[in-house]
Each structure stands twice: as structure tokens, then as C-alpha cells.
Amino acid sequence: MKASRFLVSTLKEAPADAEVASHRLMTRAGMIKKLGAGIYTYMPMGLRVIRKVEAIVREEMNRAGAIEMTMPVVQPAELWQETGRFDKMGPELLRIKDRHDRDFVIQPTSEEVVTDIARQEIRSYKQLPRNFYQIQTKFRDERRPRFGLMRGREFIMKDAYSFDRSPEAAKASYQVMAQAYRRIFDRFGLRYRAVAADSGAIGGDLSEEFQVIAATGEDAIVYCPDSDYAANMEKAEALAPAGPRGAAGKPLTKTATPGKSTCQDVAELLGVPLATTVKSLVLATDLLDDKGAVKGTQVWLLLLRGDHDMNEVKVGKLPGLAGFRFATVGEIEAHFGCKPGYLGPLNLRQPVKVVADREVALMADWICGANEPDFHITGVNWGRDLPEPDLVADLRNVVAGDPSPDGKGVLAIERGIEVGHVFYLGTKYSQAMNATFLEEDGKPRTLEMGCYGIGITRLPAAAIEQNHDERGIIWPDALAPFTVVLCPIGMDRSAEVKAAAEALYDQLLADGVDVLLDDRNERPGAMFADWELIGVPHRLVISDRGLKEGQFEYQHRRDTAATKVPVAEAAAFLKGRLAV
């Protein structure tokens, strides 16, 4: 490609609404252009990056035995009504009507459509396993789209769906995809982690997120530097402390703490470590009758160490706490006789179910609210001062330094951006849609499913969050819009520069190198600034002065200085660098 025939459209300033580096730089580099809230045009420069992402994904999916198809963006509501998602999904699902007043959705994902295909096409166990995938536009009506392509409303996604005859076979298909994903992300040249993820309401342990490591990532990734353990914050287990509970050593004392309603404030007032305090979180679950009407409410008191935070996913998996909500002020006052800020498990007005975090269950002489404004109780001990908790469980987010669940060191935490997810679905959709096949014994069986997604348009943004500096983007070779840029200086004034540039350009093209020749006759400073902003990883400068010395100047986007390369060796040198 020659720059004069392409669209190079860089900007000096980023739009005012660009909050993260990828949004700023993709806009300034002329890769995307905003059309509406969370909706972007992929400009030629950005589309080249997206096509490279798609090519790698497509190659590895095909290699893993998946079969490509394309499913409609607009889907009839009847399929979504079969699974109940038409009503259950919130406003993120864009619902529309056609001229005949029939309901449709703009797909955010395609489980229903692909399951409908499977129930029509897969009749026998002899046709299994199968894995269908697409690279297709999706739409999710985000309430607050932000961060450019990181959280847009319209996006491109690769979604795949496997179909198997048994849970064991489905798990084998899952592992094939998990390995394919590792090959895909290895080829992208990004630092990433595959982390164990929570499986949500479906349950099971087969769920992994693929997270690109970036300081601006929204997700916390928990890992052990000394082992292969990695999980997202929702999934990471906080182990119970070693050793028995300490003996009571202090008397139970009601202590004045005027105006101190947080554990941090109480610890500072009393001059004690925050870890000796216990925070009280009050939840409620509604008890329903056969018709789904609320017939009563169960109030729960969760106790966590003052320096720990509740993990809502873990709590929601505890017996009786599925679908919990935070208790209302009225419910709290009725059971504790006090407003939030001074709550605790002693002196209750009405009984509640007490759930203690593993850490709190082994604490002695701890501090909690007195259920009276401006007072806390110190020297609290299980058994002596209050009954043992109704339930002891892992309620909290892990913190750096916690022991690793695999026993091989301590945990560390870094930020990541989720760009892929592999997930064992089981029969959630196939059962709802009666997608069956005939087994070897002639009896119908429900298809076992898995689903596997990669955010095609999110991935370039994640790559930029990981790879940029004050001058612009730094693309890995596999994702760059162009791998090599030739920058001839003054080729409109020098026949020698023009001839050398075009000769090298033709040679690199013939060798299959993804090269661009900047023939726009820009000033050197402006030309270099454009390609540093756009992030082309390899640059070769051709000048009269260099030609007199028999040399070109090569510089990688990460290099601080140029390297002189003999003219005769330039093509071989570049190809050698591209192979690294």
C-alpha cells in the first residue's frame, strides 16, 4: 500500500469524552470515528487491525475443527421466548417490532439461534461432536457506553457453540477450545492470563476468562507468582486461617465511639489494628409462596473483618442466599434497633441468621457495633459472648498476600481487560428448546453445549491499553495495521531517494511483507509523528544523506535510537526482524 492511495487521517487532539488511552489514541490515529453513543465507524486504518484479529481467530478456530457460519443480527423474538430470555434480559437487549407488529431482537449473542440450527440439523450421535462459530456484529444497549471500543453498544464478536452427546464429551470439547484460545492469544503477542471464572447460575467449574494485562483494566486478576493458579476476583478462594481460634483475653466492654460509624474510624479512635474490627452487613431474602408472591422475609447478618470486602458472587451461592438483596433501613431497625453504622450481632431485637467469614470465625477479642448509636463493643468472643455462627463460609474478596489455594505461595493481584471467555453451558438452552439427538440405543438425549467468545473489536483497544507511550500506539507485529513503513525523505525532490524507496517497497511486497510506502511528501517530523502515533512497529528511513553512505536507518517503535542498515541488506534485515 502507498500512503497517497490510503486514508491517513491523524489528529493532534483527542475528543473531550475520551477517558482511556485506547479511545484517545484510536481516535487520534484515525482508526475509529464516533457516529453515536457507543457506536463507531471502523475507519480503513482501524479496519486493517480488526481484519488481522479476525484472520488469526479464524485460522485457529478452523484448526480446532470448528465450522464457520453467519447468523442474523436481527432475530425473531419467538426463539428468545422459548428460553425465557426475551423477558428476563434487561434493557440491554434491544427489542424492536417490524411493520407487522412482530417482535424481534438485535442480537447480543446467539445461543437461541444456534440451538435452533442444532435441533434441526443434528439428529444422531454419529453427527457429534459439532462446533459452530461466527464472527458477527452484536448490539448491547449499554446504559452508559464509554471507553470507546472497550464498552461500546455495537461491536464485533467471535462466538462459538459446541454440541456433544454427554457431559464428558462436552468437557473434552471445552478443553479443545481452551487450548485453541491459548494459541490465539499467544499469536496476538500480548501479555495475558487465562483465569478461572465464576460460572454464574449455571454452576460447574468449567469457565475461564482470557484477560489482557493492563493497568487500566476493570477486572482484578488474582494469581500466584510461584504456580499456575489464576482466577478472577469473583472466583478466587480465600482460605481459612491456619490454627485454632485464640482464647478470650479481654472482657466484653461497651465503648463510646461518638460519630465513628466505620471500622476505619473506630480502629483509629481506639488505636487498634483495623483487622481487629468486624463489619456487619445486613442482607434479606424474600420467601415466596406457590404463586410467586412474597409471604415473608429472612434477614441475614454477615460478619467480615473490618479490612475485608464482601464478594457478592460467593455470598449468592450460599444456601438460602440466592437472589439476596440488601436489607431496607426499616428491616434493619426492626431487627437491630439501630440504623446502619453501629450494627453488631449482640443485643438483637429479633433473631437473624448469622454468617461469619472464615477469618471472623477464628477471631478472638474482636470489636463490633453495639446496636446503639455512638457505641461499639470491644472484647467480643464466640461461645462466651454469643453463640457460634449459623454458617461459616468464604464471604470476602481475596487480598494480595493471602495464601494461594493451591498451597504454592501467596497471591498477587493485577488488573486485566477481559477479551475472551470459554464456558461449559450444559443443557441450559438445549433443554429449554428441546434440542435432542438419538443416542446409540435409539433413545433421545438432550445436547450438551459449550460457548466460547472473543471480543474482536475490544481486543485492539485492550492491546493499546497494554502497549502505548506518550507518542502513541505500539502494536505487536501480528496486530499492526501495517507491519513496516518506509519513510523516504524528500522523494519528490530526489530521484535517487524515490528509486531506492520504490525498489525496496517492491521487493518487500514480493516477499509478502505487509509494508506501506509513505509517498505523501510530508516533512520528516510530521511523517514520523504520524507513524509513531499509528504505531507501526518497524520503520525504515530513506534519505539522500543515507544513500551517500550506502545505508538506510531502521528503528523499531520501542527503540530509542535508529540503527544503520546497509542498503543491499535492508530487505533481509527487515525480514529477520519480523521473524523475531
> At 169, is the secondary structure helix, strand, or coil?
helix
- Residue 216: the pLDDT is 87
Domain co-membership, 88 together with 168: yes
The number of angstroms, rounded, from the C-alpha of 429 to the middle of its chain's C-alpha atoms is: 23
Sheet holding 563-566, edge to edge: 515-517, 484-488, 538-542, 551-556, 563-566
Q: Is residue 242 a part of any domain in this protein?
A: no
CB 65 within 8 Å of CB 509:
no
CB 107 within 8 Å of CB 75:
yes
Q: Is residue 406 a part of any domain in this protein?
A: no
Domain co-membership, 452 together with 516: no
Domain co-membership, 93 together with 124: yes
CB 378 within 8 Å of CB 271:
no
> At 577, is the secondary structure helix, strand, or coil?
helix
- Residue 117: the pLDDT is 97
- What's the CA gap between 59 and 73, in Å, rounded? 23
Mean pLDDT of 234-248: 90
- Residue 580: the pLDDT is 63
Q: Is residue 470 a part of any domain in this protein?
A: no
Helical ranges in 10-139 per DSSP H: 21-28, 44-63, 77-83, 85-88, 111-121
pLDDT tens-digit profile of 406-428? Answer: 999 999 999 999 999 999 999 99
Q: Is residue 271 a part of any domain in this protein?
A: yes
Among 373-387, 536-550, 566-580, the least confident range:
566-580
- What's the CA gap between 152 and 140, in Å, rounded? 8
> What is the pTM for the complete model shown?
0.87
Question: 478: which DSSP letter?
Answer: T
Confidence of residue 484 (pLDDT cuts 50, 70, 90): very high
Q: Is residue 471 a part of any domain in this protein?
A: no
- What's the CA gap between 572 and 579, in Å, rounded? 11
Domain co-membership, 191 together with 317: no
Residue 144 has pLDDT above 50, yes or no: yes
- What's the CA gap between 211 and 171, in Å, rounded? 22
- Residue 371: the pLDDT is 97
Q: What angle do CA 108, 222, 307 make, to 5 degrees?
A: 110
Nearest to 578 by CA among 189, 213, 50: 189
Domain co-membership, 389 together with 429: no
- Residue 361: the pLDDT is 96
Q: Which residue in this structure is represented by grid cell 479512635?
A: 269
Residue 430 identity (one-letter amino acid): S
Confidence of residue 205 (pLDDT cuts 50, 70, 90): low
- Residue 78: the pLDDT is 96
Domain that residue 172 falls in: 3-237+413-464
- The enclosing domain of 552 has a CATH number of 3.40.50.800
- Residue 292: the pLDDT is 74
Task: Quote the number of domains for the chain.
Answer: 3
Residue 204 has pLDDT above 70, yes or no: no
Average pLDDT across the chain, whole number: 94
Domain co-membership, 268 together with 131: no
Sheet holding 74-76, edge to edge: 74-76, 103-106, 94-97
**Sign of the torsion formed by the C-alpha atoms of 184, 188, 189 and 195:** negative
Q: Could you report how far apart the first and last alpha carbons of the chain are, in Å? A: 23
Residue 202 has pLDDT above 50, yes or no: no
Q: Is residue 53 a part of any domain in this protein?
A: yes
Residue 497 has pLDDT above 80, yes or no: yes
- DSSP symbols for 102-151: -EEEE-S--HHHHHHHHHHH--BGGG-SEEEEEEEEEE---SS-BTGGGB
Domain co-membership, 340 together with 436: no
Q: Which residue in this structure is represented by grid cell 525504515?
A: 540
pLDDT tens-digit profile of 172-193? Answer: 999 999 999 999 999 999 999 9
> Percent of the chain beyond pLDDT 70?
98
Residue 81 C-alpha cell reads as 421466548
- The enclosing domain of 441 has a CATH number of 3.30.930.10
- Residue 199: the pLDDT is 65
Cβ within 8 Å of residue 253, ≥6 positions away: 377, 378, 379
Residue 60 has pLDDT above 70, yes or no: yes
Domain co-membership, 417 together with 384: no
- The enclosing domain of 389 has a CATH number of 3.90.960.10
- What's the CA gap between 543 and 527, in Å, rounded? 13
- Residue 123: the pLDDT is 96
Cβ within 8 Å of residue 176, ≥6 positions away: 64, 65, 131
Q: Is residue 245 a part of any domain in this protein?
A: no
Domain co-membership, 567 together with 526: yes
Residue 189 C-alpha cell reads as 503477542
Partners of residue 555 on adjacent β-strands? 539
Q: Is residue 477 a part of any domain in this protein?
A: no
Confidence of residue 568 (pLDDT cuts 50, 70, 90): very high
| Angle between the N-to-C axes of helices 167-188 and 44-63, in degrees from 0 to 180, rounded to the nearest 10 | 140
Domain co-membership, 31 together with 163: yes
Residue 317 has pLDDT above 70, yes or no: yes
Cβ within 8 Å of residue 318, ≥6 positions away: 355, 391, 393
Domain end, chosen from 393, 426, 445, is at 393
Domain co-membership, 260 together with 214: no
- Residue 200: the pLDDT is 59
Domain co-membership, 278 together with 358: yes
Residue 203 has pLDDT above 50, yes or no: no
Domain end, chosen from 393, 425, 447, is at 393
- What's the CA gap between 484 and 535, in Å, rounded? 10
